[in-house]
A and B are shown apart, each in its own frame.
Chain A
Amino acid sequence: MTDPADTCDGLDEPAASAPAPDMPPDVPALKVFYLYLTAGCNLHCRHCWITPTFVQGKPVPAECLDLGRLKGAVAEGKPMGLSAAKLTGGEPMLHPQFREIADYLSSEGLELSLETNGTLLDRDLAVHLVRHTTLKRVAVSLDSPEEQEHDRFRGRPGAFREAVRGIRFLAEAGLPPQIIMSVYRGNLDRIEGLIELAMKLGASSVKFNPVTHSGRGEEIHRQGLGLDFDGHLALIRRIRGPLQDRYPIHLGAMVPPAMSTVKELLRYGGEGAGCHVRHILGILGTGEMALCGIGRSIPELCFGRLGQDRLREVWMTHPVLVRMREELKGPFPGVCGDCLHAGRCMTHCLAQNYEACGTLVAPSPLCAEAVRRGVFPATRRRQGTGGRGQGAGGNRL
Chain B
Amino acid sequence: MTASPDPLSPVSCLLTFRLRNDVAIEDFGGRSLVLLAGALELREINAAARRLAGLLDGKRTVADIAAETGMPVGPVAAALLEMEQQGVVRRVVNWSKERREPMSEARYLADPDVSFRTEGDDGGLLYNAETDTLEVINPVAVEIWKHLSAPHTRAEVAAHLAEVCEGAAPEQVERDVAEFLDGMVQKGFIGVVEEPA
Contacts and interface: CB of A to CB of B under 8 A. Distances in A.
B10 to A, nearest CB: 25
Contacts of A344: 134
Nearest to B138: A266
B30 interface: no
Contacts, number: 105
A16 interface: no
Interface in A293-339: none
Interface in B85-131: 85-88, 90, 110-120, 122-125, 127, 129
Give the contact-size bracket for chain B.
35 or more
B4 to A, nearest CB: 12
A186 B154 CA distance: 55
B132 interface: yes
Interface residues of A, number: 27
Interface in B32-47: 34, 36-41, 43
B118 A395 contact: no
Interface string A184-201: 000000000000000000
B39 A390 contact: no
B124 A389 contact: no
B123 A394 contact: no
B175 interface: no
Nearest to B113: A388
B149 A386 contact: no
Interface of B: 1, 20, 22, 34, 36-41, 43, 85-88, 90, 110-120, 122-125, 127, 129, 132, 134, 136, 138, 142, 145-146, 149
Nearest first, the 7 A-B pairs at minimum CB distance are: A395-B87, A391-B116, A386-B117, A389-B112, A397-B43, A379-B117, A263-B122
Given A382-B127, A388-B114, 6 more contacts: A262-B119, A262-B120, A386-B127, A389-B110, A396-B36, A397-B41
Interface of A: 261-263, 265-266, 340-341, 343-344, 377, 379-380, 382-392, 394-397
